[in-house]
Structure 1
Amino acid sequence: MARPHTPYRLFAALILMALLAVVFGRLGNWQLDRASERDALKQVMEAGRAQPPLALQADTPSAALQAWRPAQATGTWRHELTVLLENRNFQGKPGYWVATPLLLAGPSHAAVLVLRGWMPRPMRPGESQLPIPAPQGTQTIQGELLDRVPRLFELWSWSDQSATRLPAQLPDSSSPLPKLQNLDLADYAAATGLDLLPTVLAQTQAAAGQENGADPLLREWPDPMLDSDKNRGYALQWFGFMAIAIIVCIGLAWHLLRRVLRPTHK
């Protein structure tokens, strides 16, 4: 004889499986959205790289600053405003990205932030950091435009910790070479007082006169993940789990209905 509370257990199991079906469906749709975002990003990258090279000027319109577009800038480095971006690995080795503003040639004081390249981080006791090249005079830098400095997730961003916060003013005598996890253009412009273009130039080759080992910075910039097929595969898995949950829901509902409608024998 079935226990009297069995229908309640069936009903609870039915509710649980229904909730799981909803969750699995949402996860599947989320993966499809991620696939669409990656497909759209791939189109933006291809469109930008198909554009002719752009010579950056103080009056370059924002519409021309298309992400992934090849570009070049001529000006002088502001080495005293250099910052290092932490936790940027290259082929499994920890290191930094070197970011320095380039004051554009011309009567204005406009500048562009340049990601100059990757350098290794000292790991052994007593090991010193490699010197950062500081060429003087007018430089012509070639690279690719980015809409912002690529970000890394910060665990401490949910707290009040400021372990990698940008100093309020640069240059900072107490920290001549600031190290931080992420760099926001607006914050950097406020700290330096520079009139920055709303773009970032990722340098792709050494400037003239710095070839043949004179420039130790490496410039193999990682592209974002564009494998949308993987997301669609994950979505298929979640939808499969949803289908299983729905089938179980139907079975539970059938058993529950039979128990409710079963005639009671005295």
Structure 2
Amino acid sequence: MARPHSTRYTVAALLLLGLAVTILVSLGQWQLRRSDERRAILDAIEAGRKQAPLALTPATPPAEMTAWRAAQASGAWLPEFSVLLDNRNHDGKPGYWLATPLLLDASSRRAVLVLRGWLPRVIQGQGEPRLPPTPEGMQTVEGELSVRVPRLFELWSLGGAEASTLPASLPVAGGTVPQVQNLPLDAYAKATGLALLPTVLSQRGDTAGDGLVRDWPQPSVDFQQNTSYAVQWFAFGAIAAIAWLVVLGGAIRRMRQRTDNAAQARIRARR
């Protein structure tokens, strides 16, 4: 004899399948939003790189400092204000980005922060990282603009939080180069006393001969992948919705069958 269906189990199955449909459709919508975000980033990159190279000066309007635009700046390096950005990997190797301001105008202290390149992390116990020499005199630096120093998710710990914080004032006594996780421009300008342009220049090319690696990471713009994931989540949601309808249909059929059986039983009883 077949085990009778339990109304409780049917209701539980309908609730679980309904929840699955909601979650799967939500995941599909999230992937579509990610696709739109990546498409917007790709459009911004293409638009910025299509613009003519920009000559950065103290008087350059902020509106012209478009992200991903090629730019050139002439000035003098200020190596005493250099900062190392920690936990920046390259080809799977741990290391740092070296950030140094380029002084554009001495009288106004107007400068632009330059990401000069990547250098490898030193083995623990072998001292501080060895920085390349900084050229003296007027220098011309070419690169690409960004609105901020690319951020890294900060994983604070009780023992390492202080070491990852930008000092209140630069340069640091003893000539130690600070190591930080992230470098907000406003905090850096306050610590250095420089009037920074509201942009960051990622240096390009190997003309400096300083041994720094300038293979800058690019944001992921594969929006087709997110669209494909969205289609998959919606397909899973459709399967769950069909299963919900099947379970509901079975419950309705059983309910009708029980009603018919009860009616027939009453008729037989009257006879």
Give the structure-2-normalised TM-score.
Answer: 0.87
Whole-angstrom distance in 1 between the partners of 2:242 and 2:174: 65
Q: Which has the higher helix share?
A: 2
Q: Secondary structure at the match of 2:224?
A: helix
Partner of 1:24 in structure 2?
A: 24
Are residues 1:230 and 2:230 paired?
no
Residues 175, 94 of structure 1: CA spacing in aligned structure 2 closer, same or farther, 3 A cutoff?
same
Deviations 1:53-81 (A, max 9, x none): 11111121111000111111111111111
Asked if 2 retains the 8 angstrom alpha-carbon contact of 1:11 and 1:256, the reply is no
Whole-angstrom distance in 2 between the partners of 1:156 and 1:28: 33
Partner amino acid for 1:47? A
Asked if 2 retains the 8 angstrom alpha-carbon contact of 1:25 and 1:239, the reply is yes
Give the superposition deviation at 1:143: 0.6
Partner of 1:146 in structure 2?
A: 146
Alpha-carbon RMSD across the aligned residues, in angstroms, is 2.2
Residues 127, 167 of structure 1: CA spacing in aligned structure 2 closer, same or farther, 3 A cutoff?
closer
Give the superposition deviation at 1:162: 4.5
Deviations 1:199-229 (A, max 9, x none): 000000245xx44xxx111111121111111
Q: Secondary structure at the match of 1:34?
A: helix
Q: Secondary structure at the match of 1:156?
A: coil
Once structures 1 and 2 are overlaid, which stretch shifts more, 103-112 or 179-188? 103-112
Give the superposition deviation at 1:105: 3.2
Deviations 1:236-263 (A, max 9, x none): 1111110111011111211222344422
Partner amino acid for 2:181? Q
Partner amino acid for 1:249? W
Whole-angstrom distance in 2 between the partners of 1:127 and 1:107: 37
Which of 224, 236, 239 lines up with 2:234 in the alignment?
239
Give the structure-1-normalised TM-score.
Answer: 0.89
Are residues 1:218 and 2:210 paired?
no
Whole-angstrom distance in 2 between the partners of 1:200 and 1:25: 40
Whole-angstrom distance in 2 between the partners of 1:162 and 1:32: 40
Asked if 1 retains the 8 angstrom alpha-carbon contact of 2:163 and 2:179, the reply is no
Partner amino acid for 2:246? G
Whole-angstrom distance in 2 between the partners of 1:173 and 1:109: 21
Runs of 4+ in structure 1 off by over 6 angstroms are: none
Higher Rg? 2
Number of aligned residues: 258
Deviations 1:170-189 (A, max 9, x none): 22227721111111111211
Partner of 2:43 in structure 1?
A: 43
- Structure 1, unpaired ranges of 5+: none
